[in-house]
Structure 1
Amino acid sequence: MSIDRVGVAGGGTMGAGVAHRLLVNGIEVVLVERDDIEAANARERVIGGLERAHERGYLADEVEGVAGRLTVAGSLDAFAGLGFVIEAVPEQPELKRDLLGRIEPLLADNAVLATNTSSLSIDGIAASLQRPGRFCGMHFFNPVPASDLLEIVRGTASEPGAVEAARELGERLGLTTIEVDDAPGFATSRLGVALGLEAIRMVEDGVASAEDIDTAMRLGYKHPIGPLRLGDLVGLDVRLGIAEYLAAELGPRFEPPKLLRDMVAEGKLGKKSGEGFFSWE
């Protein structure tokens, strides 16, 4: 199996970030969106990220050379014959199952198919696949180009070879990999959401300001970023969706605070909307 050419399904924030990380590490990328218009938008997203990285000194190579390894398309047919595809569409189980089920027949029989999910059941998503042994989770972290970790998630049917291929790809991308079994929230989201929800409850209860809570965790516990600012970066709507899923699977300790529900309802989603627990103008 070659990992010199990798497909990415979905060109939003996460998909574009995964494509960026692959490109700067010498891997050809086939990035597919749902139509030609969205494919063009995804290309602009990736190229814009490469240009910013170059301007800031994080990318030594010329943008044109790196971008030359990128192919974008508005049809899944562009994945035909690939040996490795990473799905990176929104955290909606039905959407992921449908998309992966349509991608799988296009690939080589021994291809690895991976989902970039932060919490959803790998076994549940694999229900649409004919070859679930060649499927696993690859949880990338936002922003992908600057992250250090890849959480690889083994489904019940995931074959060791598929997991090993995911680990090898992660290491080629310069990421430290961890491997976990399929469980709600895996290791990272389960712990991260628990901390983030408690921080929101503290704001809701008037214990301290968002800034002071984050400062406490950064300086007192050496977290690189506070839980509330991290929630803003991830997206409070995304955090709410994960919390609702974990509450359904693991019980009321993950029940989203009213403040979180209210902020999402008001459109205060964090960085992407310009306002969350912090201002992102």
Structure 2
Amino acid sequence: MTDQPEFRGLDDVETVGVVGAGTMGNGIAQVSATAGYDVLMRDVEAEFVERGLDAIDDSLSRLVRKETLTEEEADAARDRITGTTDLGDLADADLVVEAAPEEMDLKRDVFADLEAVTDEDVVLATNTSTLSVTTIAAATDRAPLVLGLHFMNPVPVMKGVELVVGERTDDAVVAFAHEFAESLGKETWEADDKPGFVSNRILMPWINEGVRAYDEGVATKEDIDRGMKLGTNVPMGPLELADHIGLDVCLHATETLHEELGDRYTPAYLLKRKVKAGDLGKKTGRGFYEYED
């Protein structure tokens, strides 16, 4: 772009707004607070906010037990996080990361509302894993200040953040996003705003083919996962990883890619059947494997 928009640089960012207190939202809030930022975490219901704060408490406690954080550091991080149900509270944010459910209409509504309550020089980022950043940005009048900040799950553990560059995202905003993610202790890579970006464009067909191989009797689920771990040096095989992510999340992402890119992303029948049965993975206690807790 020829005209660089005015926006707040990293030195001006003291408060990070997070829209959504679910798994991704509370993880983003936690790592931001741990890095020293004040955080405003908003969700639509007080119950959701409290659940998100409880998840942060549990995660910080685990990090203390693992001696990754001290008690003092964990307490300080928790004290920096404020939960709210009022989107207007994000008027105090210097940067906002949206982590609402993967529904385009919902995200566009959120961004339109964020534009109304935040200052015009505030960068707005979306944590979308498959949806078009350009389409989301078009709900605002500040498309050059909108980009994708796609954190990996679980956010406090995974080092990677995928930066997704929309059609009108300014280069300086991309550079700012790299700096911000790195200030959280993350490492980054860039992707153009094309379906699935880098991560899910490759990851989802890998998971989907693992499900299909299991359904077709190529090997047991244990041997599919073991073979991929030993053969490709990944920490989890495709079926175990699908359970960890959530089978409903995997199916939704694969369906989105199928719609955009065609038959090579057709969801495996067994994946659809599992989701219909409510066997969504670790979060429901049963997916391809069973979980006691």
| Pairwise same-fold verdict (TM > 0.5) | yes
Distance of 1:179 and 1:226 partners within structure 2: 25
Partner Cα distance (1:239, 1:14) in 2? 15
Q: Is the 8 A contact 1:100 1:128 kept in 2?
A: yes
| Equivalences for residues 84-95 of structure 1 within 5 A | 84-95=95-106
Alpha-carbon contact 1:202-1:208 (below 8 Å) kept: yes
CA contact (8 A) 2:143 2:169 kept: yes
Match of 1:178 among 186, 189, 192: 189
Q: 1:247 aligns with which of 245, 254, 258?
A: 258
Helix, strand or coil for the counterpart of 1:146? Answer: coil
Query: 1:124-167: CA deviations, max 9, x gaps?
Result: 21221111111000110100000010000000011112212211
Q: How does 1:93-242 map to 2 (within 5 A)?
A: 93-242=104-253
Which segments of 5 or more consecutive residues in structure 2 lack a partner in the other structure?
1-7
**Conserved 8 A contact 1:33-1:42:** no
1:7 maps to what in 2? 17
Q: Which residue is equivalent to 2:287?
A: 276
Give 1:39's match in structure 2, choosing from 20, 24, 49. Answer: 49
Cα distance in 2, alignment partners of residues 256 and 17 from structure 1: 28
The residue identity in structure 2 corresponding to 1:55 is R
1:29 paired with 2:13, answer no
Measured after TM superposition, the shift of residue 223 of structure 1 is 1.0
Q: Could you tell me which amino acid in structure 1 is paired with residue 36 of structure 2?
A: G
Please give the secondary structure, in 1, of the residue aligned with 2:70.
Answer: coil
Structure 1 residue 64 corresponds to structure 2 residue 75 = yes
The residue type paired with residue 3 of structure 1 is V
How many residue pairs end up in the alignment? Answer: 281
The answer on whether the counterparts of 1:269 and 1:276 sit within 8 Å (CA) in structure 2 is yes
Structure 1 residue runs of 4 or more that deviate by more than 4 Å after TM superposition: none
Q: Tell me if the contact between 2:30 and 2:77 (Cα under 8 Å) persists in the aligned partners.
A: no
RMSD after superposition: 1.2
SS at match of 2:60: helix
The alpha carbon displacement at 1:61 in A equals 4.1
Following TM superposition, by how much is the alpha carbon of 1:40 offset from its aligned partner in structure 2, in angstroms? 2.4
Does residue 1:18 correspond to 2:28, yes or no?
yes
> Using the alignment, how far apart are the partners of 1:41 and 1:244 within structure 2?
29
**Residue number in structure 1 paired with 2:3:** none
SS state at 2:138 partner: helix
**Bigger CA drift: 55-64 or 233-242?**
55-64
Q: CA deviation at 1:43?
A: 1.8
Q: Distance in 2 between matches of 1:36 and 1:145?
A: 23
Contact in 2 for aligned 1:153/1:182 (Cα 8 Å): yes
Preserved CA contact (<8 Å) 1:35 1:75:
no
Residue type at the aligned position of 2:67: G
Unmatched runs of 5 consecutive residues or more in structure 1: none
1-structure distance, mates of 2:47, 2:227: 45
In the alignment, the residues of structure 1 paired with residue 46 and residue 288 of structure 2 have an alpha-carbon distance, to the nearest angstrom, of 36
In 2, distance between residues paired with 1:105 and 1:249?
A: 31
What is the identity percentage for the equivalent residue pairs of Structure 1 and Structure 2?
Answer: 39
CA shift, 1:82, in A, is 2.0
